[in-house]
Structure 1
Amino acid sequence: MRFRIRRPGSTPVPPSPEEQEQAPAPAEYLLEPEVAEPPLSPHEIALIRASVSVVEPLAADMTVYFYAILFARYPEVRPLFPPGMDAQRGRLLRALLRIVDLVDDPESLVRFCGHLGRDHRKFGTLRDHFPAVGECLLASLARYAGPAWTQDIADAWTKAYGVVADVMIGAAEEDARTRPAVWPATVVHRVPCGPGIAEVTVRPHTPYEYAAGQYVSVETPWHPRQWRSYSPANAPREDGTLTFHVRAVPGGTVSTALVHRAVPGDVVHLGAPMGDMVLDAAVHNDLLCVAGGTGLAPIRALVEEVARRGGRHQVNLFLGARTGAELYGVDDMLRMAQRHHWLTVRGAVSDEYIPGIRGSLPQVLAEYGPWYQHDVFLSGPVPMVTSARQTLTLTGTSPDRIHHDPFDVSALATT
């Protein structure tokens, strides 16, 4: 199967909301299949999914084995990975399962693998690394599938991996023509904002273009090759600075370092901006924004972007927490609502009797809805996002109008 490169702004089939990028976001190059058919036949797809069902109960052991043989056979790739591999093994597993989910959806598969390819540039991944990974991946699948592994399955996986590798390589090489793999950035401000939370502002050394609502991976000097994703809490500024709201996660190396160790003058590294939870994905003038905890950061950036564009949207913002003390950022957002007539802010508390709205965010959304004439932006813990999405869908909101980051980005990361 062949692929062609499409620049944003061309006119192929109408893009889904997840494909649309906000100007002046960096020009990501999207790979599209030249034909509409899936890259694999229905029989090959069935073989791959059947083999995954066999190895899935042993997936954790399989990923340990995969990295063991990868480093043994190709020791030159070991320096690309962090010393502790637990989080990395989980990311591999989630990516592999996601690819299998999308194997019969070529547009989404290509989009997902293109994102992977661009993101892997920050690790130093090269074209020559892909054959080694493919070899060890198939060896690991064969070992843990046992007698269920056949030549037909091996051939199907070889073909599938070839498609994935081609898309990732093409996306990475095209991306390398227009921007660096990482951006050094100096910490210019750090403000404690409560127990275990800090606002950390950085200034990239070279221009860093992103869209409000996107997320950014960060590496600190104290833990090389360990990356954690955060969403800037601001729309792009004239001075180029980005502010992250960081909560120190127990056992988390990157978050703990940023909250408790970073001081002005320290230099961190930023990966390329990622994510499609951007304002240009909206088709309605009315927006529903829902945030839990420090998930407020990308929502706040989106509100700033609405203001930058002259307040052309009506924004209903719901903030949720278990207790009033945990209702993060509500005062800041209420001050913004006083300045902007198009912004309405409501806080909801689920586990404490205080004046105001009581209940979980999904319950409150159901009470104040319906929201089927709104574009919806969700950010926060995975259970909250999942239940809010279900509530909204059941009450008539179209799923393609509900925008949130992938579940394996900020909320699930533990570094």
Structure 2
Amino acid sequence: MTEQETPEAVARWLSLVAADAELSPYLIGVDRDRLTEQVARALTTNTDLPYLGWSEAEHRRAESYLRRRSFWEEVEDRCPGLLPERDAPLIEGALRRLTDRPRRPEKLALLSVLGRACRRFGLRPEHQTVIDDALRTTAPWQEVERAATNAGDGPAWWPVEVLHHDLACDGVAVITVRPWRRLPYRPGQAVPVCTPRRPGRWRWLCPANAPRPDGTVELHVRAVRGGAVSTSLVREVRPGELLHLGPPADTGLSLHGGNLLLIAGGTGLAPLRAIAEQVAAAPDGRQVTLIAGSHDVASLYDAITLDKLQQAHDWLTAVPAFSHDPLAEPGERGDAWTVALDHLRGEQQVYVCGPPLMLAGARLRLLAAGVPAARIHLPERIPWR
């Protein structure tokens, strides 16, 4: 940007921010002359805007008002054809988030996506400086390179369209999405999920269904306090919106032979219902008991689907477990563990998935109940918390 163009660009930026209902309060009490100098310096030196106390999303919107060249444009100038324009924002967002040192579950999701992207787009060490310059920060490339070494071949992400969004109970949404191309996953696996409403943030979710002929995938999401992605998926996302799913990853919940006891708590029901549907797709004479734990009747969000599944298959027994419902039937009263142990039989493969408190000590509890270690299956390969 030329010296003559800078004052006009700064004035335009100030007027746009002042007209933005969410950003304008941050201008109250700010020294306008000093802010003008700082914004002009950011424009001429291609550095970050001054921080006025706004959120990450608000900062990105303020940046967008500068109308500077995009991340993709800067990379394209120096390495033509390196990154597709459509995919560049996902790479940019993931790398920026990775530099913020997120907690381990999110970090693993980011590295899963970036490792595949590194292989997919042929990113080599000589490209790292170019990308860092466009990001105006230094990405942790050694971690990305290790992830790329361990990543398999295939897409880094699958764009999906939201077909249905059902607020199944307070704080829980059932979202049905249709991938633009089929997602190659197995029941019990988890996939990183990202919404453009929260760029660069990925959260692990397990598909709640076995693969379908039409390729649609059902996701069960609970809004977690402080969880940007989960809250957005539950409270904000609507049918017709675009999401992205990352590469499927094993969790430790793959199907094994023999009768099954599936013990679910909350949205931990999703991968276990998918396993039950996998058995339904090719019945082999095994018996399956699915315990669905919830606080009360109102919070048993998937009751209708479970009832239909049970009605269609005589080998399946679905039992609700209500931890705080005094009106529940005697065989359904208690937490998922209490009810499940009443259904424990010899030679069952036992699967458990639920919130952290439910999983804590799960292996020891099952061993104490006489279940051999080889028949205990927990989602231990991905640290959910």
TM range (shorter): 0.5 to 0.7
Question: Are residues 78 and 265 of structure 1, via their aligned partners in 2, closer, same or farther at CA, if it must alter by over 3 Å?
Answer: closer
Question: Are residues 80 and 248 of structure 1, via their aligned partners in 2, closer, same or farther at CA, if it must alter by over 3 Å?
Answer: closer
- Offset at 1:408? 5.0
Name the residue aligned to 1:385.
Answer: 359
* Partner SS, residue 302 of structure 1: helix
State how 1:165-180 maps to structure 2 within 5 Å: 168-172=147-151, 175-176=152-153, 179-180=154-155
Q: Are residues 1:309 and 2:282 paired?
A: yes
Q: Are residues 1:257 and 2:236 paired?
A: no
* Partner SS, residue 317 of structure 1: strand
- Offset at 1:363? 2.6
Asked if the contact 2:189/2:253 (under 8 Å) is kept, the reply is yes
Cα distance in structure 1, aligned partners of 2:189 and 2:365? 24
- Offset at 1:287? 0.4
Equivalent position amino acid for 2:355 in 1: P
Q: Are residues 1:274 and 2:249 paired?
A: yes
Asked if the contact 2:263/2:337 (under 8 Å) is kept, the reply is no
Q: Percent of aligned positions with the same letter in both sequences?
A: 35
Question: Are residues 81 and 165 of structure 1, via their aligned partners in 2, closer, same or farther at CA, if it must alter by over 3 Å?
Answer: closer
- Offset at 1:237? 0.8
* Aligned with residue 366 of structure 1, among 319, 341, 359: 341
Equivalent position amino acid for 2:150 in 1: A
- Offset at 1:165? 8.9
Name the residue aligned to 1:236.
Answer: 211
Asked if the contact 1:362/1:387 (under 8 Å) is kept, the reply is no
Equivalent position amino acid for 2:358 in 1: M
- Offset at 1:277? 4.0
Answer 1 or 2: higher relative contact order, Cα 8 Å, separation at least 6: 1
Greater Cα radius of gyration, structure 1 or 2: 2
Asked if the contact 1:291/1:378 (under 8 Å) is kept, the reply is yes
Equivalent position amino acid for 2:325 in 1: E
Equivalent position amino acid for 1:193 in 2: A
Cα distance in structure 2, aligned partners of 1:165 and 1:185? 25
Question: Are residues 165 and 205 of structure 1, via their aligned partners in 2, closer, same or farther at CA, if it must alter by over 3 Å?
Answer: closer
* Partner SS, residue 206 of structure 1: coil
* Partner SS, residue 210 of structure 1: coil
Length-normalised TM-score, structure 2: 0.63
- Offset at 1:83? 5.0
* Partner SS, residue 325 of structure 1: helix
- Offset at 1:255? 1.4
Asked if the contact 1:320/1:327 (under 8 Å) is kept, the reply is yes
Cα distance in structure 2, aligned partners of 1:229 and 1:271? 9
Deviates more, 1:399-408 or 1:345-354: 399-408
* Aligned with residue 370 of structure 2, among 396, 399, 413: 396
* Partner SS, residue 360 of structure 2: helix
State how 1:191-230 maps to structure 2 within 5 Å: 191-230=166-205
Name the residue aligned to 1:91.
Answer: 104
Question: Are residues 309 and 324 of structure 1, via their aligned partners in 2, closer, same or farther at CA, if it must alter by over 3 Å?
Answer: same
Cα distance in structure 2, aligned partners of 1:404 and 1:358? 24
Aligned length: 278
- Offset at 1:240? 0.9
Question: Are residues 240 and 399 of structure 1, via their aligned partners in 2, closer, same or farther at CA, if it must alter by over 3 Å?
Answer: same
Cα distance in structure 2, aligned partners of 1:233 and 1:279? 14
- Offset at 1:263? 2.1
Deviation digits for residues 264-299 of structure 1 (CA, Å, limit 9, x no counterpart): 22111110011144544x13x200101111111111
Asked if the contact 1:187/1:264 (under 8 Å) is kept, the reply is yes
Name the residue aligned to 1:98.
Answer: none
Cα distance in structure 1, aligned partners of 2:144 and 2:98? 25
Length-normalised TM-score, structure 1: 0.59
Asked if the contact 2:162/2:176 (under 8 Å) is kept, the reply is yes
